[in-house]
Structure 1
Amino acid sequence: MTIDAQALLPIAGQAVSIAAEIIRTRAPGVVTSKGDRDMATEVDYAVERAVREFLAQETPEIGFLGEEEGVAHSGDGLLWALDPVDGTANFLHGIPLCGASLGLVDNNMSILGVIDLPFLDLRYSAAEGAGAHANGTHIQVSDVLDLETAIVALGDYAVGDNAHERNRPRLALTQELAARVQRVRMFGSAVIDLAWVADGRIDANIMLSNKPWDTAAGVIIAREAGAAVVDLDGSPHTMTSHATIAAGPGLVADLVQLISESLLTKGFGR
């Protein structure tokens, strides 16, 4: 299917406005356990169902994937990917670092994204070839070139099955970054990490994971703001990548090398 991503931005914006209003006005409600230290609130489910219903009416030819209830229907190579509340733990504890994220994926590549952070009054958006914007204003990545002057955000540590083993490389990487970069930050929200790389608020983001609902919107927003978004080996990021690394083009090569050296010297990735 041939698609004009920019033409779908208004629809994506309306969908995310529905999500943001629910997040902003409703209490978390009943919490459902999804596994060890992983949970979803009533709001997560309410947002996903409302957005799914809206998009089914507006774009019935496009597939839909939500974090909480999976694939609702398949499309012709196109897929909406929704994280209804990214940063659910933050939301549940009244920490304002959370938001709704809707991306459009075409054959495993992000082509459109909208992220709304309702408690921070920030809306990020981008479509392939149209640049990235925050509250309607064009944004771009920072021009930091040296790791020593970079603020780098890390994705959350793992929870759930085999979390101890999955966190070993994350902890090794944290140790190496703490010795090399200006500051390490962990915001607890993948979409904030990617959006703030795009906005130049931080200089890089590393997630040793890649879930479509977490990354579909943020990856295209970061790319359209001038970031390089890559996998662990430095190859271009897709929805099938193993990790998600975003940084300004002058910083990404050194960052990929640091990650590689850190994990290899600690016995990971061999």
Structure 2
Amino acid sequence: MNTDLQELLRIGSLAVDQAAAVVRGKVVGQVTGKGDRDMVSALDLIVEDRVRSFLKRETPEIGFLGEERGGENIDGADLTWALDPVDGTANLVHGLPLCGVSLGLVQGDRSVLGIIDLPFLQRRFCATDGNGAYAGDARLTSSATASLDAAIVSIGDYAVGAAAGERNRRRLAVTQLLAERALRVRMFGSAAVDLAWVASGQVDATIAMSNHPWDMAAGVCIAREAGCAVMDADGTPHTLKSSATVTAAPGVRDAVLKLLQDSKALVP
């Protein structure tokens, strides 16, 4: 299909407008567990259903994948929207403002468009493939930090659910080495926040040992277009098939990859 990314950015932005307005209403509604130490709120479902309905009407030829209700028309689709209706639900439920609406557009296994809205911080980030990344009218650039000991590095949430202990060994090893080598370590509890802030240069790198398309599709496009290195844990370019999502300012890329390599030796 002929892909007009700027037109799709306009349509996606309208969808996120609706989603952000619902989130700002703060009516979380019923909170239901979904597995070990995970949750979904009524608000997540309302946002996902509203965005899905809007995009199905405006772009019926494009598939849709939502975190909460799964995929629709994604088999064989050239393009697929990927939505996390509230990235950082646990933060939202506890009254913490670090959460966001994350809407990406995926072509094959590559993110080509991203919109992240942080409703309680009143900031929106967006990008399309080859056209740069922006917060409002301001073009984003990654930080100029040149050494890990001067860097603020955020990490993704620890694993929960089946085999969480085993899966967290590498995460804990990474945390240990970051505590020894980085200026500061942060866990914000939202991949949308992590990726938006590394794109804007507020954070120098972010390491998530996971890669769900609804979590990452928007943010990896934004970070890449801001000049960040966006990689798998082994340094290969990030795709939706990657096992991890590692994003770094160019000046700390090599140090972050070395740390990830060194962390393997700490895992029994």
TM-score range, shorter chain: over 0.9
Name the CA distance, whole Å, in 2 between partners of 1:198 and 1:7: 23
Using the TM superposition, name which of 183-192 and 166-175 deviates more.
Answer: 166-175
Structure-2 residue corresponding to 1:27: 27
Structure-1 residue corresponding to 2:211: 210
- Is 1:48 the counterpart of 2:45? The answer is no
Mapping for residues 165-180 of structure 1, pairs under 5 Å:
165-180=166-181
- Is 1:18 the counterpart of 2:18? The answer is yes
Unaligned runs of 5+ in 1: none
Structure-1 residue corresponding to 2:198: 197
Name the CA distance, whole Å, in 2 between partners of 1:171 and 1:233: 18
CA contact (8 A) 2:169 2:267 kept: no
Mapping for residues 103-252 of structure 1, pairs under 5 Å:
103-252=104-253
Name the CA distance, whole Å, in 1 between partners of 2:44 and 2:236: 33
Using the TM superposition, name which of 20-29 and 237-246 deviates more.
Answer: 20-29
Structure-2 residue corresponding to 1:57: 57
Name the CA distance, whole Å, in 1 between partners of 2:26 and 2:249: 37
RMSD: 1.0
CA contact (8 A) 2:155 2:186 kept: yes
TM-score (norm 1): 0.97
AA matched with 1:99: G
- Say which SS state the counterpart of residue 250 (structure 2) adopts: coil
Structure-2 residue corresponding to 1:100: 101
AA matched with 1:98: C
- Say which SS state the counterpart of residue 35 (structure 1) adopts: coil
Name the CA distance, whole Å, in 2 between partners of 1:97 and 1:26: 13
Name the CA distance, whole Å, in 2 between partners of 1:45 and 1:186: 25
Structure-2 residue corresponding to 1:84: 85
- Say which SS state the counterpart of residue 158 (structure 1) adopts: coil
Unaligned runs of 5+ in 2: none
CA contact (8 A) 1:6 1:112 kept: no
AA matched with 1:191: A
Name the CA distance, whole Å, in 2 between partners of 1:170 and 1:209: 10
Structure-1 residue corresponding to 2:39: 39
Name the CA distance, whole Å, in 1 between partners of 2:48 and 2:174: 33
Name the CA distance, whole Å, in 2 between partners of 1:135 and 1:55: 22
TM-score (norm 2): 0.97
Structure-2 residue corresponding to 1:8: 8
Query: What's the offset of the Cα at 1:140?
Result: 0.6
Name the CA distance, whole Å, in 2 between partners of 1:245 and 1:85: 21
CA contact (8 A) 1:6 1:128 kept: no
1:38-91 deviation line (CA, Å, top 9, x unaligned): 000000000000000000000000000000000022263210000000000000
1:174-232 deviation line (CA, Å, top 9, x unaligned): 01110001000000000100000000000000000000000000000001111010001
Name the CA distance, whole Å, in 2 between partners of 1:261 and 1:67: 33
AA matched with 1:202: V
CA contact (8 A) 1:211 1:239 kept: yes
- Say which SS state the counterpart of residue 115 (structure 1) adopts: strand
- Say which SS state the counterpart of residue 123 (structure 1) adopts: strand
Number of equivalent positions = 267
